[in-house]
Amino acid sequence: MTKDQALELFGDNPFKVSLISSKIPDDGRVTAYKCGDLIDLCTGPHIPSTKMIKAFKIMKNSSAYWLADAANDNLQRVYGVSYPSKKELDEYILLKEEAERRDHRTVGRAQGLFDHHALSPGCAFFYPNGTKIYNSL
């Protein structure tokens, strides 16, 4: 659809109007996805039908300011995953939990090898045993 058609369609949503107005050139095209009564800006569809989703899980949520500006509205951000079967979702969750248990940042800190400081988050500060391993490598 054209930019003008999209602005008309989403005219009651100031967030979508802002995105369309600022991101789409005047001669540009806008894509939307419809599922039942819901219609939204999207480059989808990502799947042909939501009937294919048999299992889903909300992984985390957080608040965020619109356009990362504290002067703007506070919105809710939701992160989730979906799978065509409960078994595949359970496998994903198990792998994710295993990866978190083996995260080098957590393991290294727990073993007293290194730590990080808030003033220098990308720089590891090695403890004596961590220094020995680092120098051996």
Do residues 106 and 119 lie in contact, with contact meaning Cβ atoms separated by under 8 Å?
no
The pLDDT of residue 40:
87
Residue-wise burial string across 80-115, b where 16 or more C-beta atoms lie within 10 A, e elsewhere: eebbeeeeebeebeeeeeeeeeeeeeeebbeeebbe
Question: For the segment 19-75, what is each residue's pLDDT rounded down to a tens digit?
Answer: 899 888 888 888 888 877 888 888 766 777 788 889 999 999 999 998 888 999 999
Query: What number of other Cβ atoms are within 10 A of residue 125's Cβ?
Result: 11
What is the arithmetic mean of pLDDT over 87-97?
A: 96
Q: How far apart are CA 61 and CA 68, in angstroms?
A: 16
- Predicted TM-score of the model (pTM): 0.62
User: For the chain, which domains are there?
Assistant: 1-46 (3.30.54.20), 48-102 (no CATH), 103-136 (no CATH)
Highest mean pLDDT of the ranges 28-32, 46-50, 87-91, 120-124: 87-91
Chain mean pLDDT for the chain = 89
